[in-house]
Amino acid sequence: MTMRAPLNPFLLTGYHSPAYFCDREQEFAWLQEQFANERNVMIYSWRRTGKTALIRHFYYHMELRKQADCLFVDLLGTDSLAEANRRVAAAVVQRFGEWKKGIMPSFLGLLGKIGASIGLDPMSGAPQLTFSLVPGQAVADSLDALGEFLASRKKPVVICLDEFQQVTEYEDGSAEATFRTWMQNYPMVRFIFSGSHRHLMTAMFSDQDRPFYRSTQLLSLEPIEAEAYTRFITAHFKKGGFVISGEQISRIFDWTRKQTYYVQLVCNQLYGKQAEVEDNMLEEVFDSIIQQQIPTFSTYQTLLTSYQWKLLMAVAKAEQVESPMAKEFLAQYNLGAASSVGTALQMLVRKELIIQHEGHYTLHDTLLMRWLQLM
């Protein structure tokens, strides 16, 4: 399917095509190498760095070159293994169900094994999948049937389980082991695990006592390299007939700390002005982006104690803190005892509002930090 070109080249959701995707050449080559050698991978990063887009970009090329059939399963919002199984099944059915040519008997067999049936949507007439409730053991059987189906395809299959940290929230607690077994049982299926909760993901894949320990190749996705991103931004503005200076771009990088989504957001808004970029337009855009997020950020305050909020604000203002329990920091922000900071900090780190990065504490969300800095 060919898609129309986007009206604004700075996309805020999803993936379009290589022209609107910046760089990531090393990561792309790395993914290709893993695939060529039948290795499974796990991709982690701080939020909104571009994990999902990278996987989409990889898929785009694999499909284009007919090297693999690629499946994408988003586990966001799932709360049980049964639900996860349904998402996997839906992805398989969507990718391989050849409705137009009539359903193959082998496919009907698969549907039976996973407790799914096909009906027609009464409104649109399109085929629709319904699942009957799948109890515990049946989930494992269903995953087996799906795995067998995928492994028996002639062309290699790559399956991505995105937001995989979600499985740690499932009630019965066996999801990790179930997926690990699934992966092991089908060595001819390639798996990509990815997740936006960096601590949960790294713990899952590098703790000795956890099922996924040393089972995959790990990729820590860093921000896009400044030089390549500058070239990308300059070129798209130029193509639209506008000028943006290197200095302005570097101000955007500073303000967003190169958090990919926010860089895209700023550039999208600047581009939307359909004019040469003036310095004061940067301030305007920064400000309007913050204004839009205030309702969201304000709800954070209700979720925290007043002390936790105060500490969050202090870290935001300092931008980076090496020792939040040091006397100077406590005094400067009026935080009282070091032990209070310790407890509150622990909670903020667990929620990933504050992260520990390269030896210092800082806010995870750059925009939240910019907003708090205004107070």
Ligand X SMILES: Nc1ncnc2c1ncn2[C@@H]1O[C@H](COP(=O)(O)OP(=O)(O)OP(=O)(O)O)[C@@H](O)[C@H]1O
Residues near ligand X (CB under 6 A) are: 11-13, 21-24, 45, 47-53, 196, 224, 260-261, 264
Angle at 139 between CA 164 and CA 98, to 5 degrees: 85
Given ligand X, Mg ion, none, residue 255, with its beta carbon under 5 to 8 Å by kind, binds none
| Nearest to Mg ion of 53, 146 (CB atom) | 53
3-class SS at 42?
A: strand
Return the one option of ligand X, Mg ion, none that residue 188 interacts with (CB less than 5 to 8 A, by type). Answer: none
Give the residue with the Cβ less far from ligand X, 45 or 142. 45
* 86 contact, one of Mg ion, ligand X, none, CB 5-8 Å limit per kind: none
115 token code pair: 């407790």
Q: What would the DSSP string read from start to end of 151-216? A: HTSSS-EEEEEETGGGGGG-TTS-HHHHHHHHHHH-TTEEEEEEES-HHHHHHHHH-TTSTTTT-S
* Nearer of residues 13 and 130 to ligand X, judged by Cβ: 13
Residue pointed to by tokens 């994408």: 72
Minimum distance of ligand X from residue 256's CB (angstroms): 11
Which residue is associated with the tokens 């499985």? 167
3-state secondary structure (DSSP) of residue 262: helix
Query: What is the per-residue binding string for Mg ion in 52-71, x denoting contact by CB under 5 A?
Result: x-------------------
Size of interface with Mg ion, in residues (CB under 5 A): 2
Q: CB-wise, 162 or 344, nearer to ligand X?
A: 162
Q: Which helix (H) or strand (E) holds 189?
A: strand 189-195
- State in angstroms the smallest separation of the CB of 220 from ligand X: 12
What does the block give as tokens for 287?
Answer: 């400000």
Structure letter (DSSP) for residue 321: B
Nearer to ligand X, 198 or 370 (CB): 198
Amino acid, res. 118? I
Please name the residue that has the structure tokens 């209700």. Answer: 302
Q: How far is the CB of 57 from Mg ion (least distance, A)?
A: 13
Q: Considering the complex, what minimum distance in angstroms separates the CB of residue 118 from ligand X?
A: 31
Q: Specify the amino acid at residue 202.
A: T
From CA 206, how far away is CA 185, in angstroms rounded? 21
To the nearest whole angstrom, how small is the minimum distance from the Cβ of residue 164 to Mg ion?
Answer: 11
Smallest distance, Å, CB 12 to ligand X? 5
343 φ/ψ angles, rounded to the nearest 5 degrees: -65, -45
Is the CB of 76 or the CB of 120 nearer to ligand X? 76
Interacting residue ranges for Mg ion, rule: CB under 5 A: 51-52
